[in-house]
């Protein structure tokens, strides 16, 4: 009588110590559809998907595949059932080649040896068929995230997936890369693959989904379709209140220059010149945005400004004092705050508690330390306060940061950096992976920091974020700043042109 779904889960409940991550969740997936899971940070989306993929075992609940009850106890079972997953934090072995990553666990062999030649042919055939370009012999850690993600998708296709879970795939992609991904997703659904898609970006959710299911605090709130709702409708459904999607800020009041960069040159790992003679100044009371397609030197620029990477030539001064090489403490002591691009690599110590992570930068100073001794009470109080203020969803301040949902990990970093009343704030993809409610809050905080006199350098792959937050926008292309423009006087299209190499004179004409 009832419809048969490719995948159906019934009454899934999952408890973590102190959290009910999934509370009697029901979810269905039709053949060939893109079904989006939407919800606040910590709503339980990744948990549900990890359960479907056999990584977590549910406390209660049942799975049905094509109407048949199945048991999924581990990823092996899930793979057998044709389920593939691209995780929120990629699951690639960094030192392996693309090919090795793809075949791992499903190797083709000839006799006792791996048959890499055959595997390479299969992978090449797959990438041709789906238009997913990957270089089989490249080492994964050398690849940009967009390409790494493609590798993840090929990995799933290689296992002949019928059901593909994409957990926040677009969080780390540039708009162009995201477009590419959507093209691939449509291509896959045409071939009968069914996709579960997780994203916080409402625009793309409305554009790509067939159905949308919204979760809040572990429960399913409801299911809708793009035709029946719009951005603010979705936002309200997720957060349970109206969300202001527009940043509301007054005009900037720029004063003296805080950070001055002159003719900066930086090399990357391969000793290639990736930042080539960059000069700019960030003033107190303004937000300077850097727009650019990922991989045009932004990462290396930031690493140089934060003392993580060697400056080849040129100068960086903070309030007139030259920034010494590789001395992050010098910077922090002078009021620099940094929201890093890669929260796992540079932002958090995952096994440490949230409280310790929140005290990480200033741990050696009062109030967090008395002489050489830690002041536990101050550390805890600080944490309790920030968890409340930034709405970090956690059962307690002593939970290891690694156990937080992706978005809540990001909030820990943002809370730590913004709460120090910075003189200079370097925000690199500050709202990556955050839900609309949290983005609204963090944007407000960044504007508040600006208004209290901080100089803010904002780097974001989201043109929308740059356009709505920045007062001036610098466009970076091939390691150079090709133009610096007033935010109000440029369109998205003009920025897009300059980001892809059209000269400023031409683009702004």
Partner 1 sequence: MNTTRAPFKLFLARWGWFVGLGALLILALVSYGRNPTSTEAVLASTVRQATPLVLGALCGLWGERSAVINIGIEGQMLLAAFIGFLVNVWTGNLLIAVLAGALTGALLGALLAFMSVTLKIDQIIGGTVINILALGLTGYFYQQGLTTQGKLQPIPLGPLADIPLIGQVLFNNPPITYLTILIVFISHYILFYTRWGLRTRAVGEHPRAADTLGINVYLMRYVNVIMGGALAGLAGAFLTLEAVGSFERAMTNGRGFVALAVMIFGKWTPLGSWGAALLFGFATAMQTQLQFMGVNIPHQFIGMLPYLLTIVVLAGFVGRARPPAADGVPYEKE
Task: Report the C-alpha gap between 154 and 169 in whole angstroms.
Answer: 14
The CB-of-46 to ligand ATP minimum distance in angstroms stands at 3
- Any contact of residue 307 with ligand ATP (CB under 6 A)? no
CB of 126 or CB of 281, closer to partner 1: 126
Q: How many residues bind ligand ATP (CB under 6 A)?
A: 20
Among partner 1, Mg ion, ligand ATP, none, what binds residue 354 when CB lies within 5 to 8 Å by partner kind? none
Among ligand ATP, partner 1, Mg ion, none, what binds residue 393 when CB lies within 5 to 8 Å by partner kind? ligand ATP
Binding site for Mg ion (CB under 5 A): 46, 88, 405-406
Q: Which of residues 396-435 bind ligand ATP (CB under 6 A)?
A: 403-408
Q: Cα–Cα distances in Å, from 394 out to 88, 97, 420?
A: 19, 37, 22
Of residues 45, 87, 283, 450, which one binds ligand ATP by CB under 6 A? 45
Secondary structure element (H or E) that encloses residue 464, with its range: helix 463-469
Angle value at C-alpha 270, between 266 and 276, nearest 5 degrees = 25
CB of 278 or CB of 359, closer to partner 1: 278
In the sheet where 321-322 sits, what is the strand order? 273-283, 257-267, 311-318, 321-322
Q: Classify residue 126 by burial, with Cβ atoms within 10 Å: 0-12, 13-18, 19+.
A: middle
Angle value at C-alpha 491, between 487 and 493, nearest 5 degrees = 135
C-beta of residue 178 within 8 angstroms of C-beta of residue 100? no
Name residue 197's beta-bridge partners.
36, 166
Task: Report the C-alpha gap between 178 and 464 in whole angstroms.
Answer: 14
Of residues 10, 120, 393, 420, which one binds ligand ATP by CB under 6 A? 393
- Any contact of residue 36 with ligand ATP (CB under 6 A)? no
Q: Which of residues 69-108 bind ligand ATP (CB under 6 A)?
A: 88
Binding site for partner 1 (CB under 8 A): 53, 55-56, 74-76, 79, 85, 87, 91-96, 100-101, 103-107, 109, 112-114, 267, 270-273
Q: CA torsion sign, 420 to 423 to 429 to 434? A: positive
Task: Report the C-alpha gap between 84 and 161 in whole angstroms.
Answer: 6
C-beta of residue 247 within 8 angstroms of C-beta of residue 443? yes
Q: Which of residues 476-495 bind ligand ATP (CB under 6 A)?
A: none
Residue nearest to ligand ATP (CB): 407
Among Mg ion, ligand ATP, partner 1, none, what binds residue 21 when CB lies within 5 to 8 Å by partner kind? ligand ATP
Name residue 62's beta-bridge partners.
10
CB of 47 or CB of 97, closer to ligand ATP: 47
Among Mg ion, partner 1, ligand ATP, none, what binds residue 47 when CB lies within 5 to 8 Å by partner kind? ligand ATP
The CB-of-196 to Mg ion minimum distance in angstroms stands at 12
Interface ranges with ligand ATP (CB under 6 A):
16, 19, 21, 39, 41-47, 88, 393-394, 403-408
């Amino acid at each position: 009588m009832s419809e048969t779904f490719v995948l159906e889960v019934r009454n899934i409940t999952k408890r973590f110590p102190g959290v009910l991550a999934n509370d009697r969740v029901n979810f269905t997936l039709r053949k060939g559809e893109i079904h989006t899971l939407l919800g606040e940070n910590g709503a339980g989306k990744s948990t549900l998907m990890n359960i479907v993929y056999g990584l977590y075992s549910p406390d209660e609940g049942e799975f049905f595949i094509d109407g048949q009850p199945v048991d999924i106890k581990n990823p092996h079972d899930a793979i057998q059932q044709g389920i593939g997953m691209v995780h929120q934090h990629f699951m690639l072995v960094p030192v392996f080649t693309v090919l090795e990553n793809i075949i791992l666990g499903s190797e083709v062999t000839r006799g006792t040896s791996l048959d890499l030649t055959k595997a390479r042919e299969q992978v090449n055939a797959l990438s041709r068929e789906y238009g997913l370009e990957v270089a089989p012999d490249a080492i994964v850690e050398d690849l940009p995230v967009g390409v790494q993600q493609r590798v993840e998708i090929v990995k799933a296709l290689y296992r002949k997936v019928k059901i593909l879970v994409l957990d926040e795939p677009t969080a780390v992609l540039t708009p162009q890369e995201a477009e590419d991904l959507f093209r691939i997703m449509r291509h896959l659904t045409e071939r009968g693959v069914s996709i579960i898609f997780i994203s916080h970006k409402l625009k793309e959710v409305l554009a790509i989904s067939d159905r949308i299911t919204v979760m809040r605090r572990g429960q399913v709130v409801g299911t809708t379709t793009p035709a029946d709702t719009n951005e603010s409708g979705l936002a309200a459904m997720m957060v349970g209140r109206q969300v202001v999607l527009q940043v509301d800020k007054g005009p900037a009041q720029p004063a003296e220059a805080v950070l001055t960069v002159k003719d900066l040159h930086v090399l990357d790992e391969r000793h290639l010149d990736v930042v080539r003679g960059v000069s700019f100044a960030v003033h107190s009371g303004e937000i300077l945005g850097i727009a650019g397609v990922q991989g045009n030197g932004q990462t290396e620029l930031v690493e140089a400004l934060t003392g993580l990477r060697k400056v080849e030539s040129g100068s960086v001064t903070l309030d007139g004092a030259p920034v010494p090489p590789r001395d992050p403490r010098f910077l922090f002591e002078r009021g620099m705050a940094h929201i890093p691009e890669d929260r796992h690599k540079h932002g958090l110590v995952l096994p440490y508690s949230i409280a310790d992570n929140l005290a990480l930068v200033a741990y050696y100073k009062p109030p967090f330390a008395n002489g050489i001794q830690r002041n536990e009470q101050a550390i805890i109080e600080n944490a309790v306060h920030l968890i409340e203020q930034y709405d970090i969803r956690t059962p307690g301040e002593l939970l290891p940061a690694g156990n937080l949902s992706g978005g809540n990990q990001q909030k820990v970093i943002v809370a730590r950096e913004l709460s120090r009343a910075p003189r200079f704030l370097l925000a690199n993809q500050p709202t990556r992976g955050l839900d609309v409610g949290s983005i609204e809050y963090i944007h407000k905080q960044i504007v508040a920091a600006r208004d209290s006199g901080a100089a803010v350098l904002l780097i974001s792959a989201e043109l929308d974020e740059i356009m709505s937050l920045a007062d001036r926008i610098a466009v970076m292309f091939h390691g150079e700043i090709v133009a610096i423009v007033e935010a109000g006087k440029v369109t998205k299209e003009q920025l897009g042109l300059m980001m892809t190499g059209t000269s400023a004179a031409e683009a702004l004409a």
